[in-house]
Amino acid sequence: MDNKDTLRRLKTVEGHLRGIIKMVEEDVYCIDVIRQIQAVEAALNKVSTNILDNHLHSCVITAIEGQDKTERERVLKEITEVFEMSTKV
């Protein structure tokens, strides 16, 4: 996934979020608002997954194939930290 696609997806989410704000301002039915929030969360998760996939196939592979053990450990620790944070949400 390239930056253009990432930015396009994020701008779509941004527009969707503005729509949710308007729904709250207009006192739209709570369940409808929650459904829209869930759609935004799913879209952000998709963007995050795509960015992580790109990172794994570029930076992580480069570090693992490289000779610098410290760099390998650093990128592996980053991945662990990202995973740990995702389970806290």
Of 32, 40, 51, nearest in space to 11 by CA: 40
Q: What is the mean pLDDT of residues 13-28?
A: 98
Which listed CATH number (1.20.58.1000, 3.90.1150.10, 1.50.10.100, 1.10.1040.50) goes with 3-88?
A: 1.20.58.1000
Label residues 36-58 b or e (16+ Cβ within 10 Å = b): beeebeebeeebeeeeeeeeeee
Asked whether the predicted pLDDT for residue 21 surpasses 70, the reply is: yes
As a whole-number percent, the residues of the chain with pLDDT over 90 amount to 84
**CA–CA separation, 30 and 40 (whole Å):** 15
Asked whether the predicted pLDDT for residue 35 surpasses 70, the reply is: yes
Residue-wise pLDDT for 51-70, tens only, equals: 999 999 999 999 999 999 99
- Cβ atoms of residues 16 and 40 within 8 Å: yes
Extract the tokens encoding 38.
């869930």
Give the chain's mean pLDDT: 93
Q: What is the mean pLDDT of residues 76-86?
A: 90
Asked whether the predicted pLDDT for residue 41 surpasses 70, the reply is: yes
The three-class DSSP label of residue 62 is helix
Domain boundaries, the chain: 3-88
